[in-house]
Amino acid sequence: MNLIIDIGNSAVKSAVFQDAKILRSYVFPFENFSENFQKIKKDYPQIAFSMLSSVIKDTFEIEKILKRETKLFVLGENTRLPFKNNYASPQTLGKDRLALVAAGSLKYQNINLLIIDAGTCITFDFKNDKNEYLGGAISPGLQMRLKALHNFTAKLPLVKLEENITLIGDSTKNSILSGVLNGVAAELDGIIDRYKADYKYLTIILTGGDSQILSKRVKNGIFANPNFLLEGLNYILEFNKTQ
């Protein structure tokens, strides 16, 4: 049984896996890791392996806990991957992107695949039908755009994200929401169309915290999977267990 831990910019996302199946998933604050880990271990005492992926550098205490209780794997630039990485600067490649591509290589090994992760940033990652990762793009996420409009102007308010927004905003708040939501949807559709022009039989995955709200607005056919990143980390762990 595996415990997968992804420490992001705003929270810790975790899941317990039996082989490739998620038994239960969790989201909790970084500061409460020890308390939540003990609860998870109590519910699933069979956990023997763990995989840690983190965007922050100071994870010494967390690693200490996991090493004491499990066989720990930490995702890094030297971790063996289940795909060929052709990224020109692998040392700067985000761990979340590695995990997403790993999930893609598991589920869509011989297929051209574009993975769009709508979180703090919107990342685009492309894996071809030869199981080679070529790279992608990074763009500001929805919340980042809303905050930028407020922080870099004198009078625009900080607006909370809402789903039911029309094309024409009838107030400043609705104009901001229309610009951000419809702008990102148009951006995604445009980029998808460019990939489709270059690569036939393209499969598109939309995941991340804002995937649900965006999947309703993007015209191109998209399969949304909120656990795609965790599944990728579990696949990397399973891939490294046998070595």
Known binding site for K(+): residues? Answer: 117
Q: Per the annotation, where are the binding residues for substrate?
A: 87, 94-97, 172
Angle between helices 95-107 and 228-241 (to 10 degrees): 80
Q: Are 86 and 134 in contact (CB under 8 A)?
A: yes
Annotated binding site for ATP: 6-13, 120
CB 221 within 8 A of CB 196: no
Which helix (H) or strand (E) is 192 found in, with range?
A: helix 172-198
The answer to whether 17 touches 234, Cβ cutoff 8 Å, is yes
- Which sequence positions are flagged as catalytic? 96
Whole-angstrom Cα distance, residue 169 to residue 185? 16
Long-range contacts from 67-70, C-beta under 8 angstroms, 24+ separation:
69/37, 69/41, 70/3
d(C-alpha 209, C-alpha 142), whole Å: 10
| Cα(51)–Cα(41) distance, integer angstroms | 14
Q: What are phi and psi of 10, to 5 degrees?
A: -120, -20
Structure tokens at 156: 């625009």
Cα(66)–Cα(10) distance, integer angstroms = 21
Annotated binding residues, written as ranges, equal: 6-13, 87, 94-97, 117, 120, 172
